[in-house]
Amino acid sequence: MIQQEKMKVVRQKQIADGIFELTLIGQLTLQMKQPGQFVHIRVSDSLEPLLRRPISICSIDSEHMEFKMLYRAGGRGTKILSQKQPGDEVDILGPLGNGFPVEETESGETALLVGGGIGVPPLYELSKQLNAKGVHTIHVLGFQSIHNVFYEKQFSELGETYIVTADGSYGSKGFVTDLLAQLNPTFDVFYSCGPLPMLKALEQTYPDKKGFLSFEERMGCGIGACYACVCQTTDIVAQDYLKICSDGPVFPRGVVAL
Amino acid sequence: MNRLQVELPGLTLKNPIIPASGCFGFGQEFAKLYDLSKLGAIMIKATTLETRRGNPTPRVAETAAGMLNAIGLQNPGLAHVMEYELPWLEQYDVPIIANVAGTETADYVAVAEKISTAPNVKALELNISCPNVKSGGIQFGTDANTASGLTAAVKEVSKVPVYVKLSPNVTNIVEIAKAVEAGGADGITMINTLIGMRLHPKTGKPIIANGTGGLSGPAVKPIAIRMIYDVRQQVKIPIIGMGGITNAEDVIDFLSVGASAVAVGTANFVDPFVCPNIIDELPQKLDELACEKITDLIGRSHR
Ligand SMILES: Cc1cc2nc3c(=O)[nH]c(=O)nc-3n(C[C@H](O)[C@H](O)[C@H](O)COP(=O)(O)O)c2cc1C
């Protein structure tokens, strides 16, 4: 169920160039089940900045009622968020959207998790849940450069992890698809979150595999009422739009026109 | 006695708080958060004769204390709204104000004739002010003769009172208000969004795919207040006011300049519980102003 809560900051940590890890505590955590869902955050009580910011859930700790999110402090809103200190309150609406279906991969099968930049965080909770049910995970994570790399250790603890940087300053050089071409991994299902060209390349590289992709768009309400964050379906007849916030953000491969 | 009750043509409102058209869909999303029967009324998303796909994305951009949108009237079309959305809303004890849009007079007339027969549609809101579609919408709302003619044509077929939603993108809004009153409008709703643009800092090009978008949110409130202040003095029919409302004080400002009820748009995105919260706050605000009932505040700026 969607709830609104003023959650308390437990920890705020810069973990890479411009990337922050924020840990919040509160009842709302108990509503979080599915990896790939997001929360809609109001960073201040003032009218400036006005709108909420959607940020995906990176890991859930129901036992301690805590959850973590990772975000890039790039814009005005996220810069304000990055200044929150332990004890401060943050207005959270969530959990929102439909996340990654963990049930689509059977115990004993292998899942390929492919992330790009700030699309990497939701894959972490996904990997935790897949591993918990006995799925073998392979992680391929792409970043701009060595300064932007995060969570390599956390992912490594869960499965084989490969890092790619666009400038080659860490791991292998190029895009995740370049590395995938070399690795040629064996797997049953793929899950991905990151820039559109990456999602598109993945769909093309694995035409016969079951896969799930997470999308992004500028949002208004975050709950499906304003029709701001739509994407086009591949269904030419229906000519329909899907709402990324409430129909997604995760869709099975082939549903969204890329 | 219900201190918050307001009577308007076709509408008995438990309270003067109405979610604005386009900011509340057809109610389904918010129904998961609170009981829609709490609201004074609901203004549903603009409905057109045929399904509309709307504009390409990005469709929204944040601005200082506001936002731009160019949704482009995306909606499932009249038949779907009649068959699914309106019957679904019947489970709630809340009057519906149907926002009607079109490309030409005949479209408006066709939608109005049909949608006004739905049992829970108690009033129409003619959208002659959408800035985000190529034809129809705002062009009806920026010329007094056209606005008046369209109002008269719709009045002829509608089974319920007709409110006309005015555009602030005009030199003289009083002139348009008078024209729709002369055309037979039962009420006025104002304001729709103001045409604006935001640029991408790197490219210098507009962020919104449509180029321009409609500005809404707290940034536009002073304009809405001024326009209602002016229109109130020149027309007799009631006004439902909107533009930048986020709290009970804002509501009281709108009532003071002469609105009889208000609509809340963008604020629903910031706080999805904003409408019920304002409704809960209003009695205390009345006490603070030593005011028995909310209708006592209507038009007090002019007294
Ligand atoms: C995303 C969005 C969609 C809108 N869609 C409609 C619409 O379909 N029909 C309409 O008459 N007004 C529409 N509006 C205008 C609002 O109903 C309202 O007049 C305006 O936003 C000013 O109020 P606010 O500042 O409280 O948002 C829309 C506004 C927004 C922000």
pLDDT 10s digits, B141-156: 889 999 999 999 999 9
Q: Which residues contact B128 (CB under 8 A, 6 or more apart)?
A: B137, B138, B140, B141, B147, B150, B164, B165, B166, B167
- Flag whether pLDDT at A258 surpasses 70: yes
Asked whether the predicted pLDDT for residue A234 surpasses 90, the reply is: no
Provide the token pair at A120: 């990497």
Measured by CA distance, the residue closest to atom 2 of ligand 1 is B22
B6 three-class SS = strand
Share of chain A above pLDDT 90, in %: 91
Confidence of residue B137 (pLDDT cuts 50, 70, 90): low
- Span B242-249, mean pLDDT? 98
Q: How far apart are CA A137 and CA A112, in angstroms?
A: 6
Distance, CA B214 to ligand 1 centroid (Å)?
A: 8
Find, in chain A, the residue whose alpha carbon is nearest to that of B208. A218
Residue B287 confidence (pLDDT) above 70: yes
What is the model's pLDDT at position B138? 73
For chain B, give the mean pLDDT: 95
So what's the ipTM on this one? 0.92
Summarised one tens digit per residue, pLDDT across range B215-240 is 999 999 999 999 999 999 999 999 99
Check pocket membership of B154 for ligand 1, CB cut-off 6 A: no
pLDDT digits (tens, 9 = 90+) for A188-220: 999 999 999 999 999 999 999 999 999 988 899
Closest CA to B75 of B93, B102, B95: B102
Query: Does the distance separating the beta carbons of A50 and B270 come in below 8 Å?
Result: yes
Residue located via tokens 């972490």: A124
pLDDT band at A158 (very low <50, low <70, confident <90, very high): very high
B21 alpha carbon – ligand 1 mean position (Å): 6
As a residue count, chain A comes to 258
Using the Cβ of A224 and the Cβ atoms of chain B, whether some distance falls under 8 Å is answered with yes
Give the pLDDT confidence of A62-98 residue by residue, as tens digits.
999 999 999 999 889 999 999 999 999 999 999 999 9
With beta carbons less than 8 A apart as the criterion, state whether B166 and B188 touch. yes
Query: Does residue B191 register a pLDDT over 70?
Result: yes
- Predicted TM-score (pTM) above 0.80: yes
Mean pLDDT score, B281-302: 97
Asked if B291 is an active-site residue, the reply is: no
What are the E-state strand segments in B134-176? Answer: 162-165
Tell me, what DSSP letter sits at residue B85?
A: I
Beta bridge partners of B213: B196
